[in-house]
Amino acid sequence: MNWEAFWLTVRLAAIVSVLLIAIGIPIAYWIAHSRWRWKFLVEAVVALPIVLPPTVLGFYVLLALGSRSPLGRWWESLTGHTLAFTFEGLVIGSLIYSLPFAVQPFAASFGAVDPKLLRASASLGQSPARTFWRVVLPLSKAGLVTGFALSFAHTLGEFGVVLMVGGNIPGVTRTISIDIYDQVQAAQYASANWTAIVLLLISFAALSIVYGINRRPWAVGPWK
């Protein structure tokens, strides 16, 4: 068991899923409430990572992060090194890769909040922002936990994007799925087996949480 790769992966998944709460909530709110006629295009773009081969996604992310792209050059002028083959680059790639797994449950739960409650909140003198904070978010708890757990589990298991964007640098970009691949390549099946089981168990636990919450809307939280 490669603990260095394990903790790196957990750190990556944690950072990505926390950032996705911040990034995903505004996108999801817009998707849930916008009446823009071209909204479906945005929805399609957000969902792309679900169907795209991770290598394709990784390839474009690599191009975007490299020193020939504006983003890559900007980052280089700030920090003095490129984003490709760094942990930060891995975070950016994973954010895009796991975006739909956060945004879709968020948007579904925001959209499921009864619009009458929003009207009631307005008639009680509460601004849209306060209404979001006091009504929409609390009633979307299950969707928020689902999106968090799914993007965590999804990032945990990514392979193709990591390989394209991060390469395989121990302690920097070598995640457990890459480590398993390495071990298999080196014919260390026993070791690969242990790592694989850990990954399997964590993923199972994450999905159990998701299905556990969605079994009953109020199964999580202080109330019965």
Residues in touch with other proteins (CB under 8 A): 114, 116-117, 119-128, 130-131, 134-135, 138-139, 223
**Backbone φ/ψ region at 116: left (φ over 0), alpha (ψ -120 to 50), beta:** alpha
How far is it, in rounded angstroms, from Cα 150 to Cα 203? 9
Measured from the CB atom, the residue of 38 and 223 that comes closer to other proteins is 223
Q: Which residue has the tokens 């994973």?
A: 94
Contact between residue 97 and residue 154 where contact means Cβ atoms under 8 Å apart? yes
Minimum CB separation of residue 223 from other proteins in Å reads 8
Q: Cβ closer to other proteins: 137 or 198?
A: 137
Least distance to other proteins, CB of residue 133, Å: 10
Nearer to other proteins, 18 or 112 (CB): 112
- Within the chain, how many helices (H) and strands (E) appear? 12, 0
Q: Smallest gap, in angstroms, from Cβ of residue 220 to other proteins?
A: 12
Minimum distance of other proteins from residue 120's CB (angstroms): 4
Cα(57)–Cα(97) distance, rounded to whole angstroms?
8
Nearer to other proteins, 131 or 175 (CB): 131
